[in-house]
Structure 1
Amino acid sequence: MPRKGRGAVGAPRHRFASDVREWADDGWTPATAEAGDGVDADLGADEGAWWQHTAESLPTQVHEERARSAIQKNDSPDIFFDHSVNPYRGCEHGCIYCYARPYHSYLNLSPGLDFETQLFAKTNIAQVLKAEISRPRYQPASLNIGSATDCYQPIERDLGLTRQLIEVLGEAEHPYSLITKSSAVERDIDLIAAAARKNAAAVYITITSLDPQLTRLLEPRAAAPHRRLRTIRRLAEAGIPVGVSVAPHIPFLTEDMEEVLAAARDAGATTAFYTVLRLPWELNGVFQQWLQAHYPQRADRVMERVRDLHQISEEDRLRGKSYDSQSFSRMKGQGLWADLVRQRFRRACAQLGYGRERIKMDWQGFEAWRARQLMQPTRAGGAAQAPHPGQGSLF
């Protein structure tokens, strides 16, 4: 049963779990609750009490993490950036389609509700990033903030880790891009605009659909579509290059791609891109559970078209497979239906005047900053070391 303010319907076991838990009525269930009412048999190990099995809202818990490294390298040919920095693990926005959900399995947590309620904040991320980009061996490359977690999710208001990152990058004049579906990015317009004037910053706003009822279910704690459009306008008015991400395309649900592109263009977006729904690992089950809860009449049709987009064979469909991770096709799909989506996108972009070139960055400022860093005398013992790694406590 759906929970208030949450995307996932339940907390299914992750692929590394060694135990299996099943719900059974032992006679202590309240008399007002019918058998199985609001109960999820796949709840995680930390949700053992019956009152946590109901449709009531679940609290968000934030854990401190001491990062060992900040920059993650990307070798995928499907992604437009080479490096990424993520100040958080998990995301309170609760987007049901998020491809990062399965990463919570490595933390021994469920990609379902745990992903949006058990969050990890890398409180030393800015210091580690500064140490990494200061190293003589550092090879500068396109860097994106927020590729696996929304860097402006609600906890950013209090923790400010993303602002710390862009302060470090701004001081070094290191080009970067941000991607978010939150209006909270407006708080940092002063820093981003200053970098943009040096051709060193760009922002991408994700708008999945303009339908507020649909997006409230898809992305329960993200900004409403009209609010994101206003954010695009404010960023553009501040001189910041803004692109729109129409992602992911979900067949028979987010079918207003042309309307999204038109509204974003009117607000000031100059570039655009899209992806199709991807369902790796546990996300396949998490998404299908959500579909059955909210759109049971069209669930089968949606999943069949998703499998069509990824050219899943009949044999693999019988095994429950819904996604092909092959490079060059996983982001946009392949086959007839993928071609139709691609044609729709390209035609709309051409009609609306979207640029086809990526936003170019100027690296001269960073090269000058690094040259100054290398000329500075070093302390005995070499360059500054990153903070000592290790897990922190709950805060």
Structure 2
Amino acid sequence: MNSTSTVKGRGAQLNVPNRFFELQHEMRDDFLEFCRKEDEAPSKNKTKFLEVFPKTIVNKVTSPDVGMAYSMNVYQGCEHGCIYCYARNTHEFWGYSAGLDFERRILVKKTAPKLLEAHLKNKNWKAQPIVMSGNTDCYQPAESKYKITRSCLKAFLNYKHPVGIITKNALILRDLDLLKALAKDNLIGVNISITSLSEDTRRILEPRTATIKKRLETVKILSENGIPVNVMMAPIIPGINSHEILSLAKAASEHGAVSIGHTIVRLNGAIGEIFTDWIKKTMPDRAEKVLHQIESCHGGSLNNSRFGSRMRGEGKIAEQINTLVKLARHKYFRDKKMPKLNLALYEPCKDGQLKLF
């Protein structure tokens, strides 16, 4: 793989226009040439962390294609920089670009633990699993500093409320003490995202994520400590990682995962332009082939918003991918499955009846 990326350590290589803005910022060729001659960077590549103050933190998920009813996100934007990330489009609601801004402008919700506790105290709330990272990774690099996710896990534990986690960062092991305590009452399920077994592929797809070795070790350590782990092979990208389905599933099973999940990549909104620019710079020799194969999975378009087909795709290539995943489940996860989380302990804890125990 030849990398001609101009912005080191990032997934996106440009800031695409925000669809909600009438005006847009453009890097002109003459300015870029001036920067080159002066040996200056056209823009600063540092991450900025900006505090925001939401009124609520738990969101109802209405999509029938997603295996969660409620989610919460303690950060908006994600420094991991995964080029395919569907959450990029949400950064436009905050006034930023789905491209480089998504990776370099991280919005931090320091009040998330208090908002969560207020939600859990609500007399009308009935226990349902709340998934952390329904949009952006709760264990992205910012968590090392802010520790917001850890504070939220303490609230879940205090109220004996079920919680799910989606991450691709080994930083989750920092909170092993809380995860083990939650697991004792079957209150936690963890989803680790692993898209490839190749470090070369990982570096260009997900530049600031944990290595594949660390992620597999994380699956193993969590599993050995009684914490159920589902490995998300998501997204499957034809021509990039679609050939790894069986080997990925085998590795996940051998490291203790009890199930696997998958999606087929779809490039909605601004992500289509960001991904196309990226792959033409990063994999020029196979760019058109990959893009055409993605289109073949979604009725001739990079974009697919139709419930029922957007996650699994359609057509011959999508059928082959879905069949391989089905075969992988039968071969490596025949007698395994993620347990349902415990909903029974929350009400007594909310009412204060178990405070002494």
Instruction: Name the TM tier (shorter chain).
Output: over 0.9
1:92/1:26 Cα in 2 relative to 1: closer, same or farther (>3 Å)? Answer: closer
Aligned: 1:156 with 2:161: no
Equivalent in the alignment of 1:337: 317
Aligned equivalent of 2:17: 13
2:93 aligns with 106
Structure 1 stretches lacking a partner, 5+ long: 34-49, 313-320, 376-395
**Range with greater deviation from structure 2 (135-144 or 302-311):** 135-144
Q: CA deviation at 1:337?
A: 1.9
**Residue of structure 2 equivalent to 1:299:** 287
Q: Does 1:143 pair with 2:130?
A: yes
Runs of 4 or more above 6 Å deviation = none
Once the 2 structures are TM-superposed, how far is the Cα of residue 140 of structure 1 from its aligned partner?
Answer: 2.5
What SS does structure 2 have at the residue aligned with 1:17?
Answer: coil
Aligned mates of 1:261, 1:175 — CA distance in 2: 26
2:230 to 243, 261, 264: 243
Give the drift of 1:297.
Answer: 1.4
Contact 2:193–2:231 (CA<8 Å) still a contact in 1?
Answer: yes
Give the conservation status (yes or no) of the 8 Å contact 2:35–2:41. no
1:20-67 CA-partner distances (Å, limit 9, x unpaired): 44404269815747xxxxxxxxxxxxxxxx93427xx71010001112
Task: Quote the Cα distance in structure 1 between the aligned partners of 2:15 and 2:6.
Answer: 11
Question: Who is 2:160 aligned against?
Answer: 173
Q: How many residues align?
A: 349
Listed one character per residue, the Cα deviations across residues 164-200 of structure 1 (whole Å, up to 9, x for unaligned) are 1111011001001101000000001110111111011
RMSD over aligned Cα atoms: 2.0
Give the match for residue 359 of structure 1: 339
1:142, CA displacement in angstroms?
A: 2.1
Q: Which residue of 2 aligns with 1:273?
A: 261
Distance in 1 separating the partners of 2:210 and 2:326? 27
Contact 2:233 2:263 in 1 (8 A): yes
1:288 aligned partner: 276
TM-score, normalised via structure 1 length: 0.84
The structural deviation recorded for 1:262 is 0.7
Q: Distance in 2 between matches of 1:216 and 1:308?
A: 26
How much does 1:2 deviate? 2.9
**Hey, what's the Cα distance between the residues in 1 that align with 2:351 and 2:47?**
44
Match of 1:198 among 185, 197, 205: 185
Distance 1:30 1:83, change over 3 A: closer
Equivalent of residue 97 in structure 1, options 61, 81, 84: 84
Closer, same or farther: CA 332–58 of 1 in aligned 2, 3 Å: same
3-state SS of paired residue (1:51): coil
Contiguous gaps of at least 5 residues in structure 2: none
Amino acid at match of 2:15: A
Task: Give the match for residue 240 of structure 2.
Answer: 253
**Aligned twin of 1:316:** none
Deviations, residues 69-94 of structure 1 (Å, cap 9, x unaligned): 01000111111110001000000000
* Aligned counterparts of 1:215 and 1:290: Cα–Cα separation in 2: 14
Q: Which amino acid aligns with 1:199?
A: N
Give the drift of 1:374: 12
Between the aligned partners of 1:227 and 1:203, the Cα distance in structure 2 is 15
Q: Does 1:4 align with 2:5?
A: no
Q: What are the Cα deviations for residues 245-283 of structure 1, in whole angstroms up to 9, with x where unaligned?
A: 000000100121111111111111011100010211000
1:25 and 2:21 correspond: no
**SS of the residue aligned with 2:71?**
strand
Judge conservation of contact 1:102–1:282 (CA < 8 Å) in 2: yes
Larger radius of gyration: 1
Q: Which SS does the other structure have where 2:352 is aligned? A: helix
Name whichever of 79-88 and 333-342 sits farther off: 333-342
Letter in 1 for 2:67: F
Matching residue's letter, 1:144:
V
One-letter amino acid of the structure 2 residue matched with residue 130 of structure 1:
E
